[in-house]
Amino acid sequence: MEFWSKLGDALIGFGQNTGIYWIFDNFFGENQAWRNIVMIIVALVLLYLAIKKEYEPLLLLPIAFGMLLVNLPLSGVMAEPDGKIVGGLLHYLYQGNKLGIFPPLIFMGVGVMTDFGPLLANPKSFLLGAAAQFGIFFAFFGALLLGFTPEESASIGIIGGADGPTAIFTTIKLAAHLLGPIAVAAYSYMSLVPIIQPPIMKAFTTKEERQIKMEQLRPVSQLEKILFPIVVTVVIILILPSTAPLIGMLMFGNLIKVSGVTEKLADTASNALMYIVTIFLGITVGATTSASKFLTWDTIKILLLGLVAFSIGTATGVLFGKLMCKLSGGKINPLIGAAGVSAVPMAARVVQKVGQKENPTNFLLMHAMGPNVAGVIGSAVAAGVFLTLYMK
The structural domain count of the chain equals 2
Count of CA atoms in the C-beta half-sphere (13 A) of 384: 19
Cis check: omega of the bond before 345, within 30 degrees of 0: yes
Do 105 and 145 fall within a single domain? yes
Phi and psi torsions of 328, nearest 5°: -90, 0
pLDDT score at 346: 86
154 with 174: CB under 8 angstroms? yes
Do 96 and 70 fall within a single domain? no
Q: What is the dihedral of CA 314, 317, 318, 321, to 10 degrees?
A: -170
Q: Between the CA of residue 316 and those of 135, 295, 312, 323, 353, what are the distances in Å? A: 8, 32, 6, 10, 20
| Reported confidence tier of residue 342, pLDDT bands at 50, 70, 90 | confident
| Reported confidence tier of residue 41, pLDDT bands at 50, 70, 90 | very high
Which of the residue ranges 47-51, 101-105, 213-217 would you say has the lowest mean pLDDT? Answer: 213-217
Position 294: which residue type? F
Does residue 87 lie in a domain region?
no
Give the C-alpha separation, 103 to 97, whole Å: 7
336 with 367: CB under 8 angstroms? yes
Write out pLDDT tens, residues 187-198.
Answer: 878 878 888 899
Q: Which residues lie below 8 Å from residue 60, measured CB to CB, with a gap of 6+?
A: 46, 49, 50, 187, 188, 191, 282
Phi and psi torsions of 85, nearest 5°: -85, 120
Do 140 and 114 fall within a single domain? yes
**Mean pLDDT score, 356-374:** 90
Q: Name the DSSP letter for residue 143.
A: H
Does residue 85 lie in a domain region?
no
Do 40 and 138 fall within a single domain? no
Do 115 and 251 fall within a single domain? yes
Do 234 and 309 fall within a single domain? yes
- Give the domain range for residue 378: 92-390
Q: Which residues pair with 16 in a beta bridge?
A: none
pLDDT score at 74: 76
SS (H, E, C) 318-385: HHHHHHHHHHCCCCCCHHHHHHHCCCCCHHHHHHHHHHHHHCCCCCCHHHHHHHHHHHHHHHHHHHHH
Phi and psi torsions of 339, nearest 5°: -80, 0
Write out pLDDT tens, residues 220-257.
Answer: 999 999 999 999 999 999 999 999 999 999 999 999 99
Write out pLDDT tens, residues 306-331.
Answer: 999 999 999 999 999 999 999 988 88
pLDDT score at 29: 64
Do 171 and 225 fall within a single domain? yes
Do 277 and 336 fall within a single domain? yes
Does residue 293 lie in a domain region?
yes
